[in-house]
Amino acid sequence: MRFLIDMPLSPLLATWLVDRGHDAIHAASVGLATSSDARIMEVARHERRTIVTADLDTLACWQLHVRQNPA
């Protein structure tokens, strides 16, 4: 699987996932440390990654996006 680990979580989680055969990056390692939730979601969607986060605001942002852009 492909993961993008969000800032509230440790970069060690990305390392742990990579060690187990996954394609994982941490937001800080790809220049997203100060990016908005919307930008992080944009990158994740473009790269077809699942976002792993502990930030409930990210979920709210995603729900708003889905409501405004139904599939």
Predicted local confidence at residue 49, as pLDDT: 95
Domain coverage including residue 29: 2-68
- The reported pLDDT for the residue numbered 56 is 76
Calculate the alpha carbon distances from 38 to 3, 18, 59 in Å.
16, 25, 11
- Answer with the residue of higher pLDDT: 9 or 68: 9
Q: Is there a contact between 27 and 53 (Cβ–Cβ < 8 Å)? A: no
Amino acid 63: pLDDT: 67
pLDDT score at 57? 74
Write the pLDDT tens digit of every residue in 16-58: 999 999 999 999 999 999 999 889 988 998 999 999 999 877 6
Number of structural domains found in the chain: 1
Question: What tokens does 48 get?
Answer: 């077809």
Looking at residue 12, its pLDDT comes to 99
In terms of phi and psi (left: phi > 0; alpha: psi -120 to 50; beta: otherwise), the region of 36 is beta
66, 41 Cβ separation under 8 angstroms: no
Q: How is residue 23 written in tokens?
A: 């394609």
Give the separation between CA 13 and CA 57, rounded to whole angstroms: 20
